[in-house]
Chain A
Amino acid sequence: MATLEVRDLQTHFFTREGVLRAVDGVSFSLDRGRILGMVGESGSGKSVTGFSIMGLIDPPGRIVGGSVRLDGRELTGLPKPELRRLRGAKVAMIFQDPMMTLNPVLRVGVQMTEAILAHEAVPMADARARARDALALVGIPSPEERLDAYPHQFSGGMRQRVAIATAFLNRPDLIIADEPTTALDVTIQGQILFETQRMCREFGAAMIWISHDLSVVAGLADEICVMYAGRIVERGGVDALIDAPRHPYTAGLIASAPGRGRRGQRLRQIPGMIPSLLDLPAGCAFRNRCAEAGPECAEAPGETAERGRAYRCRRPLGQDAGAVA
């Protein structure tokens, strides 16, 4: 049994303009020590998937169907106190902006020991020692002194390290990281990717890394899910998915990435815009922008499983499509 099992998850937002199916039937599973990259553009539902697993969906949003199992235990529909006991202990989240997760008027040490004491009855001194060790683990120099600093006294990269150290404090089974390096500089991003990858393997946590950037995920993850308009359109191992994508959207994302020694050539662009979730085409949501689309795409594609991968497309690309892209 996998550490995390998500089956047919559906999270909808009930707005005045209509029902937004932000997550519309998402299924995947993830094991300890593995990193899953969740890739998509804005509005694809990648963050809402993460928030749904954490039980952090507020009205007008609601999980309307499906199941999320952590170590066999169903998380959807758990009463709030139960969820609170779980969050921070068994599952933890790292956000894009660490200013969102850190309280600006409390010293970092206070916030970190609080996170320990909320779940365990240990002496204050022990909690503080654990917080100090956690800071040292993510590469913060002189951690003992830094425990007494306020969040604004850290740089952006250091603040994100504090957030990561806090997420790992209680050795959670699952960590969800929502674009934690997007706001950071390249060299700092490299350091953070390195630290989290190492800690995830070392402590055997399952990790979901949400990102809009396929190339970040390519270097980090074991598996990738590509989301479009609330659905996972393709998932599989990193090499298979990037070298031989089956879904035209995945292939489009790969082909539109600049660099890769094709200097000065026009990038293959995906025509059109990301559709509004209120106004999705019937059938495959991508078909308006898809070069491969045919009449059969008017009917929503089911999931086709193949060795180690799966995709939702009625006209998948062939074996050599990756080479062409």
Chain B
Amino acid sequence: MSAPAPKTAPKPAPEPGAIHPAPIMELIDLRKTYAPKIDMVGRLSRRLRGKPASEEVKAVDGVNLRIQPGELVGLVGESGCGKSTLGRVMAGIHEPTSGEVVWRGRNMRNMQPHERRAARRKAQMVFQDPFASLNPRMTVRDLVGQAPRVHGTVPAAEIDDHVRGLMETVGLPPAYADRYPHQFSGGQRQRIGIARALAVNPEFVVCDEPVAALDVSIQAQVINLFMDLRERLKLTYLFISHDIGVIEHLSDRIVIMYLGRVIESAPTEALFAGANHPYTVNLLEGAPRLDRRKVAYTPISGELPSPLNPPRGCHFHPRCPFATARCKAEAPALREVAPGHMSACHLNDG
């Protein structure tokens, strides 16, 4: 990929005339690659066959992103597009391979260890599977109370009160503090996961498909909880989902990823009024909606290519009905197509 285009477009002002504060988090040319582990036999056979020493998966391939305080950014993409990896890097769970993570104007790389720990604490994560992400042998009191105890953010004597308060915040009866995860339903378990993320008073929460595993009527309850918490605790969210309906409902701005790259980013209304990238157009059209009846589907052909060996040029060109020779050779840069609306497509060059 060529040098990243500097992102100049800020988010649309929540109120007209409001002055933009510094972004709460900024990613600059962020990359995360994974190399499959190869044993000696594999290395040997590679050398004999004259293949390069290792092949990498570029899970996140040069992403630039700014998130303003109080903003809710929706991150959409299909499996394997790198959205979860990006979320985990932002939550501080994974280290980026290269690129910068800037927290409130300060590069994480240049921080003192104690400063970095404090910044990390301000970014928390809620996971998809409320069954797999809670230790079955820990009670709610331990699950929620562990992080504040370890970090020493709450005095030991007050941790029980702290946990009770958090349980009330997320809508769980505090009397259940000594129960184990298996004694709760899926929706309640997700509430425990949310309480755990809130336990160290974060400012920024990464939610990775937090409602995907829930039943429809429970999903609405948890979505409402996310909106309430946002207002009450002034939280900033990165909300990762494959469900366009959920993302449309919640997000101020939507970012679309395809095979490790951001291909489009726009305020929600602008995106639904007119998506720019052919992939986004298809993604929005293909999403099932209640008001779409007897659809004569015109789906995009083909499948997501392997991230081990992505197509050259624009990653989307083999599936794109408008692809030209240039799309096959040259990766398009993310450029502004309307105020605040970025898209990475050669077609915009006319």
Task: Name A's B-contacting residues (CB within 8 A).
Answer: 41-42, 139, 155, 157-158, 185-191, 193-194, 197, 212-216, 218-220, 238-239, 242, 252-254, 256-260, 262-264, 266-270, 273-274
11 sampled A-B residue pairs with Cβ under 8 A: A41-B216, A185-B79, A186-B283, A216-B288, A219-B293, A219-B295, A258-B219, A267-B223, A269-B217, A269-B221, A269-B224
A263 in complex: contacting residue of B218, B248, B283, B301, CB < 8 Å? B248
Interface size class of B (residues with CB under 8 A): 35 or more
Residues in B neighbouring A216, C-beta threshold 8 A: 288
> How many angstroms between the C-alpha atoms of A262 and B268 in the bound complex?
12
State whether A213 touches B242 (Cβ < 8 A): no
> How many angstroms between the C-alpha atoms of A214 and B245 in the bound complex?
12
B245 in complex: contacting residue of A157, A215, A252, CB < 8 Å? A215
10 further contact pairs, Cβ within 8 A, besides A190-B286, A190-B300: A186-B287, A188-B303, A212-B216, A215-B288, A218-B290, A257-B220, A257-B245, A258-B245, A267-B220, A273-B218
Closest to B76 in A: A186
State whether A186 touches B78 (Cβ < 8 A): yes
Residues in B neighbouring A269, C-beta threshold 8 A: 217, 220-221, 224
Closest to A192 in B: B299
Query: In whole Å, how far is A183's beta carbon from the nearest beta carbon of chain B?
Result: 10
State whether A259 touches B293 (Cβ < 8 A): no
Residues in B neighbouring A262, C-beta threshold 8 A: 249
> How many angstroms between the C-alpha atoms of A242 and B288 in the bound complex?
14
State whether B227 touches A194 (Cβ < 8 A): no
State whether A260 and B286 are in contact (beta carbons under 8 Å apart), knowing that A185-B79, A190-B297 are contacts in the complex.
Answer: no
Task: Name B's A-contacting residues (CB within 8 A).
Answer: 78-79, 185, 187, 215-221, 223-224, 227, 242-246, 248-251, 268-269, 282-283, 286-295, 297-301, 303-304
Query: In whole Å, how far is B302's beta carbon from the nearest beta carbon of chain A?
Result: 9
Residues in A neighbouring B289, C-beta threshold 8 A: 215, 218-219, 259-260
State whether B294 touches A252 (Cβ < 8 A): no
State whether A260 touches B291 (Cβ < 8 A): yes
State whether A253 and B286 are in contact (beta carbons under 8 Å apart), knowing that A194-B297, A260-B291 are contacts in the complex.
Answer: no
Count chain B CB atoms within 10 A of each CB in A189, A213, A252, A269 and give the residue with the most.
A269
State whether A260 and B220 are in contact (beta carbons under 8 Å apart), knowing that A186-B78, A193-B297, A212-B215 are contacts in the complex.
Answer: no
State whether A264 touches B288 (Cβ < 8 A): no
Query: In whole Å, how far is B254's beta carbon from the nearest beta carbon of chain A?
Result: 11
Residues in A neighbouring B294, C-beta threshold 8 A: 219, 238
State whether B248 touches A258 (Cβ < 8 A): yes
Closest to B282 in A: A187
State whether B217 touches A157 (Cβ < 8 A): no
Instruction: State the 4 A-B residue pairs at the shortest beta-carbon distance, nearest first.
Output: A259-B245, A256-B220, A258-B249, A194-B297
State whether B299 touches A213 (Cβ < 8 A): no
Query: In whole Å, how far is A211's beta carbon from the nearest beta carbon of chain B?
Result: 10
> How many angstroms between the C-alpha atoms of A186 and B282 in the bound complex?
10
Closest to B77 in A: A185
State whether A214 and B297 are in contact (beta carbons under 8 Å apart), knowing that A185-B242, A260-B289 are contacts in the complex.
Answer: no
Closest to A273 in B: B185
